[in-house]
A and B are shown apart, each in its own frame.
Chain A
Amino acid sequence: MVRRLAGLKARLTWNGVRGDVQRRFGLPIALILLTWLGVWLAGAYIETARSLQSQDPEALAEFMGWVALFTFFAWVALPVIIFPLDENLDPQQLALLPITPNHMITGLVVASFIAPSTVIPLLLIGANAAILTAGWWMVIPASLVFLGLLAVGSQLFSASISAILRTRRGRDVATFLVLGIAGGSFLLYRSVSQTVAAEGVTAAAASHPIMQWSLLLPPVAAQQAIVQAAAGDPIPALVALTAAVVGLLAMAAAWRKLLGWLLTTPEQRNRPAARARRSGMAFGPWGVVPTLARKELRFYVRDPRQRLVWTGTVIFVGLAIGGVVMNATGFFDFREREWAPLVAPVLVLFVGLPIALNLFGWERNAASYLFVLPSKPRQLLLGKNLAVAAALVVETTVLTIGLALFSSNWHWIWLVVPLTVAAIGCQLAVGNLVSVLAPLRLPREGTDVFAQSTEQGCLAIVSQTVSFFAIGLLLIPPASVTVLTVEFGQVINPWITAAFAVVWGLTLYLLSLLLAGRLLRRRMPEVLAWVQVS
C-alpha cells in the first residue's frame, strides 16, 4: 500500500508536469534553484565542519547537532511562514479507501519525498556523510530517520496550523501564532548571529553544547548517532538512534491523531458581520468597482490564507524594521533621521505582494463566475486594485505612525501621502501586468491549507522577486527626489517632490491599467485556464 501511494504521488507529479505548462516551466526552475541552494548550504557546512575538525573535534559535534536542529526547524516552519514546499497527497481523497491509518501515514511520508525540494536534505545528508566517514555504518539508518523526522515534523506542523485555522477561535489566534513563530525565529537568528559574531563558530559551538540534550531532541539524536558511530562508540550511537526513532514514532502518532480529527471535522466558517447577514451588500458603496472591492476586502478577512498574507507580512516587515533599527548606525540609524516615517511606504511594498501580483489566482475556480459577469476588464482590475490599495493604505498608516513615534520625527509626515501614492501606484502597475500575464494557480484547500507544489512555490518566489525589483526600479525616481528634498537641504521644493511622486505613481498605474485591461480582455480564457483548480 505504501508503495502504491508513493507510485500515485509519482504519477500525479509526472502527469502534472506533462499536462501543465506552468509546471513544465516551473520544474526546471525549481530544480535549479533548489539544487543551487542545497549545494551552497552543503558546501558551507562541509567547509565549516572541516575547519572545526582540525581545530576542535568536540566543537564539531556540537556544531553538527545545531545544524541538524536548525535544518529540522527550518524545514518544518518555512512552508508555513514563507511559502509551501510541497503539495502532498490529499488525505481527504484517500479517506474512503481501505487503508489503515498507519499505512496512510507511512505512505504519505514516503510520497512526500517524491518532490524536487527533497534535493536539499539529500545534499545536506550527503555532506554529513562526507564529514563523518568513519561512522558510515550508521549514516544510512540515522539519515533515514532524520528524513522521516523532517517529513513527519513538517506534516504535523502544517496539520496543526490547518487544524487551528479550521475553528473560528483558532483563526482569531492564528495571527498571534504566526507572530510567535516569526518572532521566535527572528530572536533565535539574532541570538545565534550575535553569538557567532562575538565568539566565532568554534567557541560558540563549544560554549553552547546541545548534544547533551540529544535524547530529548530527535533530530539532534539522529545526528548524535552518526557522531558517536564515527567516534567508535556503537552503544551510545544505537541509544541515540533509538531515541530518534521514538521521537519519530511519537510525532507520527500525534500527526495520525490530528489527521483523523481533520478528516472528520468540518471547517467552522467565519460568521459574517450581523449587518452583512441582514442586508447583504446593500449598504455601503455601490456600483461595479466598489462592490468588487468590497467583495475582495471581505475575502481578505474571511479567507484564512489571505488573512495570513496580510497579517503575516506586516509582522515580517515589523521584524525587519526592528532588525535594521537595532543594528543601524550612521545613515540608517532611523532614530536620528527625521525622514524615518517616509520609509513606511517603501517597506509596505513587501506587504500583500502575493495578492497584488496574483489578483485572479486567489479567485481559484470562482474566476469562471467573475468572468461571465459583464464587467469590463478594467473595472475588474480597478475593483481589485481598490481593495489592495485600501489594505495597503491602512498598513502604511500604522507603520508610519509607528516609525514617527519611534523616531519622534513628525516633520515630514505629510510627505508620506504622496510617497504612498507613488509606491502603491508602482506596486499595482506591476501587479496588474503580472496578474494578467503570469497568474499562478493556488491549490484547492484540503486538510493542509498551505499545500502547493514546489514548482509553483518556486515560480511564486521567482515572480515575486523579479516583480519586487521591477517595483523598486520604478520607485527610484520619486525616492531620489524625496531624498534630495529631505536629506540634502531641500534641493528640490517639497511640494514639487510631492506633486512629482503623485503624478509618477498615477501615470504608471493608469498606463498599466490601460495595458493590463486590454490584455485581460484578450486573455480572459487563458487566465481562467491558469487559475482554475482541477
Chain B
Amino acid sequence: MVFVAAYFFGYWPHPSILGEVTQPLVEDPTTDSVEAPPAVWAKGLVRKFGKTVAVDHVDLSIRPGEFYGLLGQNGAGKTTTIKTIVGLLRPNEGTVGVGEFDTWQSPTEVKARIGVLPEEFNLYERLTGAELLDFTAAMHGLSREEAARRRNELLDMLDLSEEGSKLIGDYSRGMRKKIALGAAIIHRPPVLFLDEPFEGVDAVSARLIRSLLQRAAQGGTTIIFSSHEMHLVEKLCTRIGIMVEGRMTIEETPEGLCRLMGVNNVEDAFIAAVGGKTPDDWSWYAG
C-alpha cells in the first residue's frame, strides 16, 4: 500500500528519463558548437582533504563531442576532479556541471546524462554481468525490452556472452573493466567519464575498448578520459589537459602540446610538462 501511494506521489520510474538521456545535448558537435553550452564544465573548482588541496581552482570547459584526455601524475587531482563533476564528491569551492545543469543543483539530471567508468571497480560483486546491465538500464529508465536488447548486444560486443551468467565477483580484472564499461554506456549517455579504462587490461580487451570508444566518439559522445597510457591518449584524444598538484597547467591538442614542449610525442611532452625526475642514486639496488 505504501508503495502504491508512493507511485501516485511520483516516486516510481518516469518513462521520460529514457527520452532525455538518449538525446545527445548537441546532435552535431561540429555545427553549432559555438552557441552550445560546454558538455562538461568546472568553474573555480577547489577540493581539499584536510590541509591538502587536491584540486586547486580548476576551470574546465569541454565542448560537446570532444575526446578530452585528463592527464597528470598519481595524486595530481584527476580522479578527484572527475568525482566532483559526477556528484560523488562535494567541492569546497566553485561549480561543476554537465551541459546546462549544475551537478550540485540538479544531480539527477546530470547523472541521467553521464556514464562513468570509475578507476576502482565498485561493482555489485554478487550480481551476474547480465543482471548488472539490466539493473543499470532499469535505473536509467530504459524499457524492459530495450534493456534486454542492449544487454545482449553489449555482452556480445564486449565478448562476455559466456560470462554474462557468472557473478561479477568471479570475473577477471579485464572482464570487470569490460562489464563496467558496458554498464557505463548501456543508456547511451551523451557524456562519458572514463578513469583509467585501460589499466590492467590485456591487449585484446584494450583494443576492444579502444574501438568501442572511437565509435562512441564518432557518434558525438563527449568523452573525458584519464589515463597513463600516453600512446593511447595521443591516438584517441582531441584535446589534453594536464594537471599538476591539483592545478590545470596546460590545455592543448596533442599536436599543440608536442609543439609547445618541443618534443615529438605526447609521452615526452607530458614528462616535460610535469617535470618528471629520475633518481640519481640507485646504488643500494644495483649493488
A289/B6 in contact, CB under 8 A: yes
Chain A nearest Cβ from B127, distance in angstroms? 7
Q: Does A279 contact B (CB under 8 A)?
A: yes
What residues of B have a CB within 8 angstroms of the CB of A374 in the complex?
17, 21, 108-112, 139-141
Q: Mark B72-106, 1 if CB is under 8 A from A, else 0.
A: 00000000000000111110000000000000000
**Which one, A269, A302, A386, A425, contacts B170 given CB within 8 A?**
A269
Binary CB contact string for chain A from 65 to 100 against chain B (1 if under 8 A, 0 otherwise): 000000000000000000000000000000000000
A276 to B134, CA, bound (A): 11
Chain B residue with minimal CB distance to A269? B167
A367 to B127, CA, bound (A): 14
Chain A residues within 8 Å of B86, by CB: 372
Q: How far is the CB of B72 from chain A (nearest CB, A)?
A: 21
- A355-383 to B contact mask, C-beta < 8 Å, 1/0: 00000000001111101111110110010
The answer to whether A389 has its CB under 8 Å from any CB of chain B is yes
Residues of chain B within 8 A of A198, CB atoms compared: none
Binds A, one of B143-151, B217-225, B245-253, B267-275: B143-151
Q: Is the CB of B127 within 8 A of A524?
A: no
A288 touches B138 (CB 8 A): yes
Question: When the two chains form their complex, are residues A373 and B111 in contact, meaning their CB atoms are under 8 A apart?
Answer: yes
Interface membership of A303, Cβ < 8 A: yes
Instruction: Evaluate contact between B147 and A282: CB separation under 8 angstroms.
Output: yes
Which of the residues B3, B11, B17, B116 comes within 8 Å of A372, measured between beta carbons? Answer: B116
Instruction: Name the A residues within 8 Å of B138 (CB-CB).
Output: 281, 286-288, 291
Q: Which residues of B1-26 are within 8 A (CB) of A?
A: 1-3, 5-6, 9, 11-13, 17, 21
Residues of B within 8 Å of A365, CB to CB, are: 120, 122
Contacts of A368 in B (CB 8 A): 88, 118, 122
Point out the residues of chain B lying under 8 angstroms from A282, CB to CB: 134, 144, 147-148, 151
**Bound Cα distance from A291 to B151, whole angstroms:** 15
Say yes or no: is A299 at the interface (Cβ < 8 Å to chain B). yes
Contact B6 A513 (CB under 8 A): yes
- Per-residue interface assignment for chain A, residues 426 to 448, with 1 indicating a CB less than 8 Å from any chain B CB and 0 otherwise: 00000000000000000000000
Residue of B nearest to A288 (CB): B13
From residue 144 to 202 of chain B, which have CB atoms closer than 8 A to chain A? 144, 147-148, 151, 164-165, 167, 169-170
With a cutoff of 8 Å between Cβ atoms, the chain A residues found around residue B164 in the complex are: 280
Number of A residues, CB within 8 Å of B:
51
Chain B residues lying within 8 Å of A371, measured Cβ to Cβ, are: 87-88
A289 with B3: CB separation less than 8 A? yes
Query: Which residues does chain B contribute within 8 Å of A310, judged by CB atoms?
Result: none
Q: At the interface, yes or no: B107 with Cβ under 8 Å from chain A?
A: yes
Q: Please state if B122 and A366 are interface contacts (CB–CB under 8 Å).
A: yes
Tell me the bound Cα distance from A268 to B139 in angstroms: 29
Tell whether, in the assembled complex, residue A525 and residue B128 are in contact, meaning their CB atoms are under 8 Å apart.
no
User: Separation in Å of the A296 CB from the closest CB of chain B?
Assistant: 11
Whole-angstrom CA separation of A269 from B163 in the bound complex: 14
Q: Is A509 an interface residue (CB 8 A)?
A: yes
The answer to whether B126 touches A298, judged by C-beta atoms less than 8 angstroms apart, is yes
Minimal beta-carbon separation of A275 from chain B (angstroms)? 11
Partner of A280, one of B13, B88, B109, B151: B151
Minimum Cβ distance to chain B for residue A389 (Å): 7
From A269, A279, A382, give the contact of B126 (CB < 8 A). Answer: A269
A369 touches B123 (CB 8 A): yes
Contact in complex: A528, B88 (CB < 8 Å): yes
- Tell me, yes or no, whether B242 is within 8 Å of chain A by CB: no
B54 CB-CB contact with A under 8 Å: no
Minimum CB–CB distance from A267 to chain B (whole Å) comes to 8
CA distance A292 to B140 in the complex (A): 12
Min CB distance A529 to B, Å, is 8
Instruction: Give Cα A526–Cα B122 distance, bound, in whole angstroms.
Output: 17
Flag if A289 contacts B165 (CB, 8 Å): no
Known: A374-B17, A506-B5. A291 touches B123 (CB 8 A): no
A281-B131 contact, Cβ under 8 Å, with A269-B170, A291-B139, A374-B139: yes
Binary CB contact string for chain A from 252 to 288 against chain B (1 if under 8 A, 0 otherwise): 0000000000000001011010001111111000111
Hey, what's the 0/1 contact readout for A413-434 against B, CB within 8 Å counting as 1? 0000000010001000000000
Any B CB within 8 A of the CB of A222: no
- Residues of B with C-beta under 8 A to A298: 126-127, 131
Q: Does A486 contact B (CB under 8 A)?
A: no
Closest residue of chain B to A304 (Cβ to Cβ) is B126
Nearest chain A CB to B88 CB, angstrom units:
6
Q: Which of A292, A299, A374 has the most CB of B within 10 A?
A: A374
In the complex, A272 Cα to B151 Cα: how many Å? 18
Could you pull out 14 A-B pairs where Cβ atoms are within 8 angstroms? A276-B128, A279-B130, A280-B133, A280-B148, A281-B131, A302-B167, A366-B122, A368-B88, A368-B118, A368-B122, A369-B122, A371-B87, A524-B88, A525-B90
- A interface residues with partner B (beta carbon < 8 Å): 267, 269-270, 272, 276-282, 286-289, 291-292, 295, 298-299, 302-303, 365-369, 371-376, 378-379, 382, 385-386, 389, 421, 425, 502, 506, 509-510, 513, 521, 524-526, 528
Extra contacts, 10 of them, besides A368-B88, A371-B88 (Cβ < 8 A), are: A277-B128, A277-B130, A281-B138, A287-B138, A291-B135, A295-B127, A371-B87, A389-B2, A421-B2, A524-B88
A-B pairs, top 10 by smallest CB distance, nearest first, are: A280-B130, A277-B165, A291-B138, A374-B112, A281-B134, A374-B111, A280-B134, A287-B13, A365-B122, A288-B13
